[in-house]
């Protein structure tokens, strides 16, 4: 029984060290995600949404990445509001094990039936980078985005590519 515990501890230590190497200053990250997954909810539209997004950036210091963010979100009904987003933010990885928290500031272009508007929004996320290999992760996360009119929260799943 002791050998199993020792093996487990050794495996956890090795995975932690491998993760730390990916969160070092000078490394790059690309993170495409599927947002919503049918679970996001917009308090202003009172409807579920589906979206795609991508983050990309660099680690400016160990565990801290500065990111550029782009995304699009479509509501369930094709005639309702679509949102196109461009922004910037950051992500901090805690304890070199893959748990992260991030925030961003975005310019959102809202397009609907016969109208469009541009709004500033603020977003936050928390998640976990689960390493499949030395450079590839699956990253489930919960997010919240708010502007003056609405609040949107949901879950997303992404892939991280660390260079």
CATH code of the domain in which 144 resides: 2.40.160.20
More confident residue, 90 or 149: 90
Number of domains present in the structure of the chain: 1
**Considering the chain, what percentage of its residues have pLDDT values greater than 70?**
75
The pLDDT value recorded for residue 154 is: 84
pLDDT at position 36 over 80: no
Q: Which helix (H) or strand (E) holds 152?
A: strand 151-162
With bands split at pLDDT 50, 70 and 90, how would you rate the model's confidence at 12?
Answer: very low
pLDDT at position 10 over 90: no
pLDDT at position 6 over 90: no
Highest mean pLDDT among 29-38, 68-77, 80-89 belongs to: 80-89
The pLDDT value recorded for residue 115 is: 74
More confident residue, 12 or 69: 69
The pLDDT value recorded for residue 134 is: 86
Q: Any residues with CB less than 8 A from the CB of 156 and at least 6 apart, and which? A: 33, 34, 35, 36, 37, 53, 125, 140, 141, 143
Q: Which domain holds residue 11?
A: 2-162
The pLDDT value recorded for residue 46 is: 61
At 148, give phi and psi (nearest 5°). Answer: -65, -25
- Among left, alpha and beta (phi > 0; psi -120 to 50; other), residue 36 is left
Segment 58-79 mean pLDDT: 84
SS3 at position 42: strand
What is the residue-averaged pLDDT of the chain?
Answer: 81
The pLDDT value recorded for residue 13 is: 46
pLDDT at position 19 over 80: no
């Amino acid at each position: 029984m002791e050998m199993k515990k020792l093996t487990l501890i050794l495996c956890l230590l090795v995975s932690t060290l491998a993760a730390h190497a990916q969160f070092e200053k000078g490394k790059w990250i690309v993170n495409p995600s599927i947002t919503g997954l049918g679970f996001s909810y917009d308090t202003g539209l009172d409807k579920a949404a589906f979206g795609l997004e991508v983050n990309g950036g660099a680690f400016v210091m160990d565990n801290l990445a500065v990111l550029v963010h782009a995304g699009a979100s479509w509501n369930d009904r094709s005639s309702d509001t679509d949102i196109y987003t461009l922004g910037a933010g950051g992500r901090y990885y805690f304890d070199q094990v893959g748990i992260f928290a991030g925030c961003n500031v975005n310019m959102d272009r809202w397009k609907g039936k016969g109208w469009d508007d541009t709004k500033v929004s603020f977003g936050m996320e928390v998640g976990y980078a689960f390493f499949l290999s030395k450079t590839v992760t699956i990253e489930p996360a919960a997010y919240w985005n708010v502007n003056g009119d609405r609040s949107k929260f949901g879950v997303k799943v992404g892939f991280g590519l660390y260079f």
